[in-house]
Structure 1
Amino acid sequence: MRNPDLKALICFLFWVVCVFTFVVSFNGDSQILIRVKDSQLDDPNGRLRDWVILTPDQSPCNWTGVWCESRNRTVASIDLSGFGISGGFPFEFCRIRTLRTLYLADNNLNGSLSSQAISPCFRLRKIDLSGNIFVGELPDFSSEHLEVLELSNNNFTGDIPVSFGRMKSLKVLSLGGNLLNGKVPSFLGNLTELTDFALGYNPFKPSPLPDEIGNLSKLEYLWLTNANLVGEIPFSIGNLISLKSLDLTCNFLIGKIPESLSKLKKLEQIELYQNQLTGELPESLAELTSLLRLDVSQNSLTGKLPEKIAAMPLESLNLNDNFFTGEIPEVLASNQYLSQLKLFNNSFTGKLPSDLGKFSPLEDFDVSTNNFSGELPPFLCHKRKLQRIVIFTNRFSGSIPESYGECESLNYIRMGDNAFSGNVPEKFWGLPLMQLFELQNNHFEGSISPSISALQKLTILRISGNNFSGDIPEGMCKLHNLTQINLSQNRFSGGLPLCITDLKLQTLELEDNELTGNLPGSVGSWTELTELNLARNRFTGEIPPTLGNLPALIYLELSGNLLIGKIPEDLTKLRLNRFNLSGNLLNGKVPLGFNNEFFISGLLGNPDLCSPNLNPLPPCPRIKPGTFYVVGILTVCLILLIGSVIWFFRTRSKFGSKTRRPYKVTLFQRVEFNEDEIFPFMKDDCIIGTGGSGRVYKVKLKTGQTVAVKRLWGVKREAEEVFRSETETLGRIRHGNIVKLLMCCSGDEFRVLVYECMENGSLGDVLHGDKWGGLADWPKRFAIAVGAAQGLAYLHHDCLPPIVHRDVKSNNILLDEEMRPRVADFGLAKTLQIEAGDDGSNGGAMSRIAGTHGYIAPEYGYTLKVTEKSDVYSFGVVLLELITGKRPNDSSFGENKDLVKWVTEVVLSSLPPSASAQGGNDSGGYFGKKVAEIVDPRMKPSTYEMKEIERVLNVALKCTSAFPINRPSMRKVVELLKDQRCVQLVAQ
């Protein structure tokens, strides 16, 4: 055979082999993909519907999520991120020999990730499994080729395996947002090719940042926020010469900011906020010519702002919550890039640079709570981008610059507690994007401009404590998003605009003005109003009975006016924490519902009010018997008779008769009454509470028993969910610390639940209302804590399946006549069907956020997962309420701070550095004298009781740990509360 013929034959055979190989490859890869789809994955959204083999040699290269090499048409990448698929880890994908990239992020994949399951993936270059629900320990990765490994936002636990330190080709390692609880290992310093390194939001054991971190000379992004880091920032950090972003926020780092940071010439961002760093801001940071963002807030830094740092061309400078002093260098105003400046909560003094904002595109400006003085810089909004001005609690004076009225980008203004004076610029009243407008406690004068009607996005208006005068403009009635109005302590006059009832207000405070006229009667839209304060004005006329129909009103202050007439009986339907009608011209008999010592002070100063048994009010005169009296009695009897007949026929048509009931009755306990005894009492004068799900009536039965009857609002989907949740959970629960559901009735137009009655209402009402005297001593509060903990422990550990309450709060803990607690309101409760994990906590997850602001566990924000540990966090907040007497979001904490953060800050400030450096809430029981600062001043605990309070505080801080894995189970909480050695146990 001639040589050319041999070559041709060889080429032909090679071509046949290649074609055969490609066909086999296509067929094999297609079969693998189909097998994974059919047996390992659930595809509820049908995103993989085109994964179908129509011909034996079909290529999968055009299938959704599959990418092939263009040269040889082999499968190189699978990307199913965000497809909503579920199931276990689809390990068979890795049997595709040409596969190099596997992206499965943001799905619902679950189960453990064993080393055996992951072993076929040794050829992969990139793996992304972030945003799923994987559990258990991290598997061993021994691949020498892996370049990207992203496992963030799962539920992995335990240590980082040693094998991770041997992946020498790794460039991206992302393990953030898991439950890893070992230490940050030093062997990760072996990954010298790393460019991205993320371990944030893991409950690691308290450990320092290893010196070996300095070996990662190619590292560009370092993210270790919320990683329980302690000790000092290592000097070796200066070896990260490629670093662009350094984020060590929310840890327990101490000591000074290392000078070695000045070596990182490529650094664009330094985030060190919320640590315990001390010393001055290193002037050498000014050598970082690429730096754009510097945030060292919430530390204990001291000294002045160095002029060289002020001269840096930064985009944002955050120094808030430290101990800085001195004046702000004038050179700061020359910055052409500054958009965010936060200096609040320091001790800065002097005037602000007069040209501040003239050259920079300022957007966020907050210098509140310092000692600044002088006038405001006129150029703050020169670039027309300023959105927030927050300058409250300083010593600023003068007037608001006219130029601020041209700043239409502004949406948030807080200028309270300064010494401003003069008129507010006309245009400043009408900035169209404004959402919060706060000028209280200054010396402003003049009237509110009609241009305020342009603030269509305004939600909060606070201008109290000034010298404003004139009428309240009707233009305010056009602000339909307005929920809070405080115009108190001014000199407003004229009548209250009737159209103000068109607003859906939550608070209306107008006390200490010169307002006149009648109170508006049409207040039906104020269904969310909690506080109405019209005290010390000149209002006349009668009190509108319609105020008694406001379901959320708990604060009614009408004292010091010229109101006349009788006190409407309807007001007794309200559940008030504050009630004051004193100093008016009211007359007649005090309604029966106000014949209580709690209301005496709110009734005084009305000379014509009387009461048969309420001193010091005079007794009411007795009416002499006579014809008029007899006729009156007969008239009343006739009215009652007619009313009874009408009610009888209405209830027969609505609720049915004994022969035919158009509704279903279910009994959960043995009772000596039926629904016919309850329905007549479901009327307005029996209402004892109104909430988001319905109204609650107090019904006293013929047997002498008192029950609470909740009628749910309508039969909408939400009401049906609440009804089903309450009956399915409470109907099968029997525990002394959980409220008893006695029976339920459901018809086409109503849902009714009947409970045992708790005479003292909720813990929240008693603790935060004027009836707190029932909890004036610590032993009662401690008993409530133990009882409520036992009820929750029963739900979590003794019910099958376990029950998560999802709305634990003081208002859902009811108190009987002896102040014994009952956990109540199971409208959001869910059962968990998933088996318990190694830590004893269930792994169930809910898809929607539920609960009450201030009690919601922080992990909701980034996982949306609800477990028993979420209830534990909420219960920890209740413990802090019992200790401090404060609400979870008390206004005294300041902006962006809640009860947990406030208590934690006070406690940590009392610890020696060695103790606070051990990692957050595990303080070992040592709080020093600071405990007295947070204990409810209305209590007078003994020395022994103070020690017990400190022990309970330990438990509360453990329960409110930022990391669910660090929180004890409710069964453990009960043990800790009862155990005299709970300090030592909590610290372990």
Structure 2
Amino acid sequence: MASTLIFLLFFTVPLSFHLNSALNQEGLYLLRVKDSLSDPAGSLANWSDRDATPCNWTGITCDHLNSVISVNLDGASLSGPFPMFLCRLPSLSRLSLANNSINSSLPVSIWSCRNLTYLDLSENLFVGTLPYSLADIRFLRYINFEANNFSGDIPSSFGNFRQLETLRITENLLNGTIPAALGRITSLKLLQLAYNPFSPGRLPPELGNLTNLEELWLCDCNLEGPIPESFVGLNRLENFDLSANRFTGPIPSLIFKLKSVVQIELYSNLFTGKLPTGWSNLTELRRFDAAMNRLTGTIPDELCELPLQSLNLYENQLDGQIPESIANSTNLYELRLFENHLIGSLPNELGKNSALQTLDVSYNNLSGKIPEHLCQRGALEELVLIYNSFSGNIPESLGKCWRLMRIRMRSNRLSGEVPADFWGLPRVYLLDLDSNAFSGNISHKIFGARNLSTLSISKNMFSGSIPNEIGSLQNLIELSAHDNYLGGEIPSSLVHLGLLGKLDLSNNHLSGEIPRGIRYLKQLNELNLANNRLFGEIPDEIGSISVLNYLDLSRNSFSGSIPRSLQNLKLNTLNLSNNQLSGEVPPIFAKGVYRDSFLGNPGLCSHVAGSCNPKGENKNRVFLWILRSVFMIAGLVFLVGVVWFVWKYKKVKKTNKSVTMTKWTSFHKLGFSEFEISDCLKEANVIGRGASGKVYKVDLSNGETVAVKKLWERNETGFCNIDSEKDEFKIEVETLGKVRHKNIVRLWCCCNTGSSKLLVYEYMPNGSLGDLLHINKSKLLNWWTRFKIMLDAAEGLSYLHHDCVPSIVHRDVKPNNILLDEDFGAKISDFGVAKILKTVNRGVESMSVIAGSRGYIAPEYAYTLRVNEKSDIYSFGIVILELVTGRAPTDPDFREKDLATWVRLTLDKKGIDHVLDPNLNSEFKEHICRVLDIGLLCTSSLPMNRPSMRRVVKMLQVLADNIPNDAQKDGKIFPSLYNNCDHESMV
């Protein structure tokens, strides 16, 4: 009765505003819609009562009688409740509010929009259950609710639709089961329910009644059991996707009786057994993806004889040979069979009859030669043959394959000379020939490989000199050529490679000196020239390569002294052993961590190496013994005095503790007092709790708002080690009290009463990044907001590492310690475990215990307890991966893996689409890939391979410079500087 009364009031109460307006009734209804919504972008600015009709308003379409028939407000940045006044428009047939921030439930009275045929509410913030009354809109043909927060069941009343053709409810929080009633919507052509956390259950066999269905997308829906036999009746089905579920048993042969199917996706299930027969029925099949199951047996000839365009059977347990018949598929452009147990050779005619673009057969037991015709149609872009037993030469024809971009032949038995033209392919960005038996020279034609970023030819038998033309490869980031027979001098042109981050020429026959001008390699992170025949002095200019942290010049013939400038570097690894160096070892290297760095240099004097033996030592031994004794006695007296003083101080402090007055220290000009703060520390004002204490929101009398952290008292928790409460308070005050940066949270003041300790910060209204990212609010963070947060946080960390004197290592970088202001600007917070690096020890410092959070701790820190800026960079890389993937680093799906390992493995095995957060707009995938590359670079397992924060900021700024001003608004993105979206382009 109450709901009926509300409905009658809604449709009978007259509008009581704009009484003198010339605007017609439908326009007045739309003005009520405008009043009910927040419109920060001004999308509805031209909706005005000065018009006679709304037909020229933004998003409004009228018929010939000036009646509104369509409202389209896609991407208008609107927020607020669902505007029910739209349902008063009598002729409204199309309604789209997609890509906004409508943040209410969908009211039951939605049925009053009774003439709708098209309803699109995708990419909003709708919550609650789907209204059962929606099925009362009899003429609906199209429903799109994807990317919202709807929960509960799909109402069984949906089975009453009689004209519905499209139902999209992907990427929601539906947690019931898929109702059998959907099988009654016989008009349905497209059913998409993917990416919902449905309760585990079987696929309703009633869906086999949907004889008009053309697309079925049920990926990641917690489905289990077998595929129902009733699906054999889906004769119009073209796209069939049941991937990422828990289907068991063999793949049923009924699938191959579907006469219209062109795409089958069955990857990431639990299928077993052999692939069924019956392929000949699939005369129009374009894509078959049964990857990542437990399929066994061989690849049937019938499958290979189909007009397939794409065949993905990777990560199974298939054995036997690849049928020769697959080369007869004239439409085949993609073949991915990696990680199986396949044997034999590749079909001789592969690539001859089709424009093959991608071939990935890595991690098998294949042998034989690389087929001559792989690139006969000139379309081949990706060739991945790693970890097999291929032998013979690289075919000359591949040297003419101008579209090749990614080549990986690592760990095979290939031999002979690499074709000259192959070295200079213009679009290749990754060339990996590692661990084979190639011989001959590196061709001078390599100058043509202008796009090359990674060249890995190590562990072969290449000889001759390194061509000078290699210095023209301005995009080169990594050059690895160790363990070959390369001779001659290191070409001087190498110093022109401004992006070079890794240079490894160790274990060759190189001679001469290190080229002058090596200081121009500003991005060089790793330099390894060990075990060659190099001589001369070590250039002093190496010490100016600020990001260098791996330097190995051992087993050469370098002479002279060790340059003092090397002390400027933050080296994780230094090896100058087995040379002819002389003089003293610089003081900074006189510590145990470098004990083996200078062995085999008879002329060096180093107390660490035990090689110093000044003349006259025996004569002065008695004198030195007496001197040491004097110092020992003096030190003992001093130690006793310090102990007595500390004991006396604590006794006096304990006596006076009850009368200790509040110590109030401010770091900025304040408009409030400590008494106002203390009065507001109530449980109702708590906005967060952490390992160190509670955080309160305090609204001050002057209109300002601050955040107050009250550290736990020692008797309140039992986790504190050695007065850790006092240490955290002291560290945070010392650190933030002197830091001034726009991306570091501001500490207004602190208060120490003896019994409690308070830290007063600026208030950040959007809370922490961790809360938004992992507590069902990630849809508030579009890609550009996430990118801005990354850049802000990177600039804050760069300031701590490079601009503070001495440097500061945060040691607990994570989303919960990245706070967001009202404009989603990011600021680094929580410096309770930060470490100020001593100026005399800019390399590493050893900690007594591990600080940080699980999932963000750098591997070398966990094992060695040594910390420097590289530890923060690893943690920041994990934050980047979280923003890109939307996954927490402790996601149970990773099992024993960490987030960085999971990303790398998933990229290699499944591709980029399985890594990206589904909440992100796929239009920006290429830009996201470039950022993902940076995150993977930051999470390299070896600290030496991680860039400095200053370089990270620079790389992000380069990407930021290429973002158009209106990118967030209109969804456009400029073409990337890179040609391909592949994580190995930088990593």
Q: Residues 316 and 340 of structure 1 are in contact (CA less than 8 Å); yes or no, is this contact kept in structure 2?
A: yes
Deviates more, 1:544-553 or 1:591-600: 544-553
Distance across 1 between alignment mates of 2:830 and 2:443: 45
State the Cα deviation string for residues 171-215 of structure 1 (Å, max 9, x = none). Answer: 211111223333333333332221111111223333332222222
Letter paired with 1:77: S
Cross-structure match for 1:75? 68
Distance across 1 between alignment mates of 2:810 and 2:758: 12
Distance across 1 between alignment mates of 2:93 and 2:899: 56
Distance across 2 between alignment mates of 1:195 and 1:878: 34
State the Cα deviation string for residues 580-619 of structure 1 (Å, max 9, x = none). Answer: 221111222222222222222222122222223x244444
State the Cα deviation string for residues 144-178 of structure 1 (Å, max 9, x = none). Answer: 33221101112333333343343343221111122
Distance across 1 between alignment mates of 2:893 and 2:520: 32
Cross-structure match for 2:39? 42
Task: Tell me: CA distance 1:741–1:36, structure 2 relative to 1, closer, same or farther (3 Å).
Answer: closer
Cross-structure match for 1:251? 245
Q: Which residue, out of 126, 141, 156, partners 1:134?
A: 126
State the Cα deviation string for residues 835-879 of structure 1 (Å, max 9, x = none). Answer: xxxxxxxxxxxxxxx985555566745xxxx7xxx6xx1355999
Letter paired with 2:889: S
The within-5 A match list for 1:290-689 is 290-503=284-497, 504-612=499-607, 614-619=608-613
Q: 1:392: Cα distance to partner?
A: 1.4
CA RMSD of superposed structures (Å): 4.6
Task: Tell me: CA distance 1:805–1:36, structure 2 relative to 1, closer, same or farther (3 Å).
Answer: same
Q: Residues 27 and 53 of structure 2 are in contact (CA less than 8 Å); yes or no, is this contact kept in structure 1?
A: yes
Q: Which residue, out of 122, 147, 166, partners 2:114?
A: 122
The DSSP-based 3-state class of the residue aligned with 1:445 is: strand
The DSSP-based 3-state class of the residue aligned with 2:595 is: helix
The DSSP-based 3-state class of the residue aligned with 2:24 is: helix
The within-5 A match list for 1:24-35 is 27-35=24-32
Cross-structure match for 2:89? 96
Cross-structure match for 1:727? 745
The DSSP-based 3-state class of the residue aligned with 1:135 is: coil
Q: Percent identity?
A: 36
Q: How many residues align?
A: 723
Cross-structure match for 1:112? 104
Distance across 1 between alignment mates of 2:574 and 2:481: 20
Letter paired with 2:274: E
Letter paired with 2:908: E
Q: 1:795: Cα distance to partner?
A: 8.8
Deviates more, 1:459-468 or 1:884-893: 884-893
Q: Which residue, out of 189, 192, 197, partners 2:191?
A: 197
State the Cα deviation string for residues 927-984 of structure 1 (Å, max 9, x = none). Answer: xxxxxxxxx9xxxxxxxxxxxxxxxxxxxxxxxxxxxxxxxxxxxxxxxxxxxxxxxx
Q: 1:385: Cα distance to partner?
A: 0.9
Letter paired with 1:32: Y
Letter paired with 1:550: I
Task: Tell me: CA distance 1:708–1:892, structure 2 relative to 1, closer, same or farther (3 Å).
Answer: farther
Q: 1:296: Cα distance to partner?
A: 0.6
Cross-structure match for 2:48? 52
Distance across 2 between alignment mates of 1:529 and 1:710: 31
The within-5 A match list for 1:865-904 is 873-874=888-889, 888=901, 895=908
Distance across 2 between alignment mates of 1:740 and 1:502: 50
Q: 1:37: Cα distance to partner?
A: 2.6
Q: 1:578: Cα distance to partner?
A: 2.6
Task: Tell me: CA distance 1:853–1:162, structure 2 relative to 1, closer, same or farther (3 Å).
Answer: farther
The DSSP-based 3-state class of the residue aligned with 2:596 is: helix
Distance across 2 between alignment mates of 1:618 and 1:709: 41
State the Cα deviation string for residues 549-582 of structure 1 (Å, max 9, x = none). Answer: 4343332222111112222233234333332221
Distance across 2 between alignment mates of 1:84 and 1:251: 35
Distance across 2 between alignment mates of 1:706 and 1:622: 48
Distance across 2 between alignment mates of 1:796 and 1:732: 19
Task: Tell me: CA distance 1:285–1:65, structure 2 relative to 1, closer, same or farther (3 Å).
Answer: same
Letter paired with 1:258: P
Q: 1:237: Cα distance to partner?
A: 2.4
Letter paired with 1:421: S
The DSSP-based 3-state class of the residue aligned with 1:587 is: strand
Distance across 2 between alignment mates of 1:807 and 1:263: 60
Unaligned runs of 5+ in 2: 1-20, 620-665, 671-729, 763-797, 837-844, 857-873, 916-940, 942-987
Q: 1:312: Cα distance to partner?
A: 0.7
Letter paired with 1:404: L
Letter paired with 1:725: N
Unaligned runs of 5+ in 1: 1-23, 626-663, 669-704, 712-718, 744-749, 764-787, 827-849, 903-935, 937-988
Aligned pair 1:220/2:214, yes or no? yes
Distance across 2 between alignment mates of 1:708 and 1:596: 31
Q: Residues 855 and 890 of structure 2 are in contact (CA less than 8 Å); yes or no, is this contact kept in structure 1?
A: no
Distance across 2 between alignment mates of 1:176 and 1:219: 17
Task: Tell me: CA distance 1:91–1:792, structure 2 relative to 1, closer, same or farther (3 Å).
Answer: same
Distance across 2 between alignment mates of 1:112 and 1:346: 49
Q: 1:893: Cα distance to partner?
A: 9.0
Q: Residues 426 and 449 of structure 1 are in contact (CA less than 8 Å); yes or no, is this contact kept in structure 2?
A: yes
Q: Residues 122 and 147 of structure 2 are in contact (CA less than 8 Å); yes or no, is this contact kept in structure 1?
A: yes
Cross-structure match for 1:691? none
Deviates more, 1:524-533 or 1:888-897: 888-897
Q: 1:733: Cα distance to partner?
A: 12
Distance across 2 between alignment mates of 1:349 and 1:730: 68
The DSSP-based 3-state class of the residue aligned with 1:874 is: coil
Q: Residues 611 and 619 of structure 1 are in contact (CA less than 8 Å); yes or no, is this contact kept in structure 2?
A: no
Query: Could you state the TM-score of these two structures normalised by the residue count of structure 2?
Result: 0.66
Letter paired with 1:895: D
Distance across 2 between alignment mates of 1:147 and 1:445: 66
State the Cα deviation string for residues 706-760 of structure 1 (Å, max 9, x = none). Answer: 999999xxxxxxx99xx233223798899x9x999999xxxxxx97799999999
Distance across 2 between alignment mates of 1:667 and 1:521: 53
Task: Tell me: CA distance 1:894–1:192, structure 2 relative to 1, closer, same or farther (3 Å).
Answer: closer
